[in-house]
């Protein structure tokens, strides 16, 4: 009988632990079905805006055993252009709390960028910051703008978001933390200021 009670208690503990662990990733996300979104918009006039500051590092890796960027297209002048004009790359870069690749993961930067300037290194970037950390799990921010990669600071607009950041707007400031001229690998520090609804 005692053994049976222990087994039942163990099963209950496992079920409760599993339920809690499955619920954790959803803790700060919003329901995304059409009815829930419609309700969210109905409540929009009663909501207040909130300003959030995010700080993270993006790891853009073109080399090594696990690259996160792949060139997918180029123009007929890319190889002779001093700015590599016309190349297009897809990225799925790691976002972390610190510049070290083994620091805490906050999410991914997924999108496309390409060389869009003939006279200097200027990228057109369309990127989604997809957050997986506990605070903003399942939420995204969308960046669209010009990234003059050799300038000390680059300002790019945040044009929207989803989840906690639904209808967000703001500004992302990028600063190169580390860049390897040989491999093309880069670590970029981002400070993002976004206004969103609470």
Q: Give the whole-angstrom CA distance, residue 47 versus residue 172.
A: 24
Per-residue model confidence (pLDDT) at position 23: 43
Query: What domains can be seen in the chain, in order of their start residue?
Result: 34-197 (2.40.480.10)
How many of the other CB atoms lie within 10 Å of CB of 150? 10
DSSP state, 104?
P
Q: What angle do CA 63, 66, 71 make, to 5 degrees?
A: 55
- What does pLDDT average to in each consecutive run of 10 residues of the chain (198 residues)? 53 45 48 87 93 98 93 95 96 97 96 95 96 92 96 97 96 97 94 96
What pLDDT was estimated at residue 14? 44
Tell me the pTM: 0.82
Q: What is the pLDDT of residue 133?
A: 87
Q: What are the backbone dihedrals phi and psi of residue 162, each rounded to the nearest 5 degrees, phi first?
A: -145, 170
Beta strand residue intervals within the chain, DSSP E = 49-60, 69-73, 88-96, 105-115, 122-131, 140-148, 154-162, 169-179, 186-197
pLDDT for 26: 42
């Amino acid at each position: 009988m005692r053994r049976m009670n222990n087994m039942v208690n163990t099963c209950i503990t496992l079920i409760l632990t599993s339920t809690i662990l499955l619920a954790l990733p959803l803790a700060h996300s919003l329901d995304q079905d059409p009815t829930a979104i419609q309700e969210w918009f109905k409540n929009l006039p009663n909501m207040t805006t909130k300003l959030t500051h995010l700080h993270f590092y993006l790891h853009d890796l073109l080399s090594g055993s696990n690259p996160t960027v792949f060139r997918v297209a180029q123009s007929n002048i890319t190889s002779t252009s001093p700015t590599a004009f016309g190349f297009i790359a897809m990225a799925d870069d790691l976002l972390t709390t610190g510049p070290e690749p083994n620091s805490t993961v906050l999410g991914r930067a997924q999108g496309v960028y390409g060389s869009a300037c003939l006279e200097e290194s200027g990228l057109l970037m369309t990127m989604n910051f997809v957050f997986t950390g506990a605070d903003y799990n399942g939420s995204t921010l969308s960046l669209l703008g010009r990234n003059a990669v050799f300038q000390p600071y680059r300002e790019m607009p945040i044009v929207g978001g989803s989840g906690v950041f639904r209808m967000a707007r703001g500004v992302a400031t990028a600063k190169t933390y580390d860049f390897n001229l040989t491999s093309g690998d880069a670590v970029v520090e981002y400070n993002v200021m976004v206004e969103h609804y609470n």
